[in-house]
Amino acid sequence: MLAAFFALVAIQPLSAQSGALGSLKNKVSGAVRNEVNKGVQKAKDDAKQTANDKATAAKYASASNPGKTYYVSVSTGSARADGLSPTTPMKDLQKAISVAEDNDIIYVAEGNYLGNMDRGYIEVGQFGNGQNDKGKFLSFYGGYSTDFSERDPIKYVTKIQPTSQTFIAPLFNINARRPWDYKGPLGNVVVDGFVFDFGENNLYCAPNVNDEMTGTPNTGVLTGRFIEPGAMPNCPKVGYANGDEYALHMDVEGNVRIANCIFVNCRDYGIQALMGKGHMEVCNNVFISCRYSACQVRGNVKDDDIDKVSLEFHHNTVLFTWTRTKAFEDMGQGFRFMNGIRTIDVHNNIFGCSSNCGVERVYYESNKSIEALKQSNLYDNYYFANRRDLELAAPGVATISVPASRIEEAEQIGPKYEGNMELPEGNDAFINAIDKPYLEGFMTLKIISSQSYNANSAANQVNRMFGLNQQGSEIVRPSMYCNKYPWEKAKDLFGKVKGYGAQIPE
């Protein structure tokens, strides 16, 4: 084509040739300009992207460089204080969260914290929206005296304990995520020295040892049985709400630590968390009278990143974990091994009085090569009075119950499996620290189940007319189910067994 073009130019007049060459020149220069413009725009875009990356890196600075420290005291703080010194504390923990930035630390004095305008819950990021609301990387330390001169989480109780509030949210929700394409350092999340208690908010049957319907095992237990969501038994009631809210819910990544806390009377998990890339440590906590499970942490990453997620659950005391319903059908695990995490270490805990099992290992990765690399370590733990110490999934049967003495035979556990045993004799101080009426009620727990059928009931008469199955009714009456535990006595369980369970906070 070029040869034909230049041959044509050669036989044309000079003026015509000049016009043709000018046109060609314009076309070539236009194409060059387009390419140059594209290059300039690309350079601008690259520079803009580099600036964005730098801005993101600056925003998510290294956790080794902590930010500001805020002070909060519900009894001595002010709604208009800046919270930047012990003498000018804020009054509202939620306000401190709103002004804090990544890597800031919040010290919280003794008292009951119920969120903005006492709505009953506190949040760092919107619950259930961790993908869009990334939250913040913050560290919370409770247990301070009101002048912040001393810290002792047992003496100076910092609690989240709603009463008559009605809400559909966890007591404390924390989102702390980075954008999916973020490559820089990850931050810290700490929750240390708090009491999470639903006991004043839950709905219970009023205590009555003479009425089996109430599930009151003895006169010393504070309430009758817990009333599940949607159930309305025909008995006098105490309390307020019966939703399925969590105590502490997290959608987080980075370096996460939950320590020196009490989770008591939790109606839907003590801790329920989604963990991204990083490490979570759950240590030195007391979980008591929690429904569903005391602790459930699931990995929240792509398969290629599972090796970057780890969890350690150690030196916790886990007592009286209750099933989902009063019929004792499902749930009720102290700790659950979940998917999406490469290495889980569970050690030096005390698991006791679980209505289902102390520890559960029934979930397996769908990718067999990933499952083969998992480390589900369960070692050096004490167990007592659990329905089952360890529950395993197995082909051909629903589950397998494994006593502490035989955990080393469970191939799904390991590579660390040594040192699991029943609570040794000589730990009377620990047993005596448990609320005696509550423990006696659990140890004598019985479930009464009765069925009835009335052929002449209106429902069965109509069913016969249409050829439908006849209906009967079943009544399940446990002598005890998730009754309120006195939260003050949960503090007595710290430091009762040397080296196992929750120790005295340092």
From first to last of its 506 residues, what are the pLDDT tens digits of the chain?
344 433 433 334 334 444 444 443 444 455 445 554 555 555 555 544 444 444 444 444 444 467 999 999 999 999 999 999 999 999 999 999 999 999 999 999 999 999 999 999 999 999 988 778 899 999 999 999 999 999 999 999 999 999 998 888 899 999 999 987 888 888 999 999 999 999 999 999 999 999 999 999 999 999 999 999 989 899 999 999 878 899 999 999 999 999 999 999 999 999 999 999 999 999 999 999 999 999 999 999 999 999 999 999 999 999 999 999 999 989 999 999 999 999 999 999 999 999 999 999 999 999 999 999 999 999 999 999 999 999 999 877 789 999 999 999 999 999 999 999 999 999 999 999 999 999 999 999 998 865 455 666 666 566 667 677 756 554 679 999 999 999 999 999 999 999 999 999 98
Q: Rg of the Cα trace of the chain?
A: 31
Provide the residue ranges of all domains of the chain, joining segments of one domain with +: 69-437, 446-479
Beta-carbon contacts of 216 under 8 Å, excluding residues fewer than 6 positions away, are 205, 207, 208, 209, 223, 224, 225, 480, 483
The DSSP secondary-structure symbol of 459 reads H
Give the separation between CA 379 and CA 407, rounded to whole angstroms.
9
| Sign, Cα dihedral of 160, 100, 107, 318 | positive
pLDDT of residue 450: 53
CA atoms within 13 A on the CB side of 336: 25
Rounded Cα distance, 53 and 61, in Å:
12
Residues 6+ apart with CB under 8 A from 189: 137, 138, 139, 174, 176, 250, 252, 254, 255, 256, 257
pLDDT at 130: 77
The whole-number pLDDT of residue 183 equals 81
Q: Which long-range contacts (CB under 8 A, 24 or more apart) does 113-116 make?
A: 113/72, 113/74, 113/158, 113/159, 113/160, 114/160, 114/161, 114/162, 114/165, 116/92
Residue 302: half-sphere exposure toward Cβ, Cα within 13 Å: 4
Task: Please tell me what DSSP assigns to residue 102.
Answer: T
Q: What angle do CA 215, 221, 222 make, to 5 degrees?
A: 100
Q: Indicate the CATH number for domain 69-437.
A: 2.160.20
278 by Cβ neighbours in 10 Å (0-12 / 13-18 / 19+) ranks as buried
DSSP string for residues in 397-434: EEEEEE-GGGGGG-TTSBS--TT-EEPPTT-HHHHHHS
> Rounded to two decimals, what is the model's pTM?
0.84
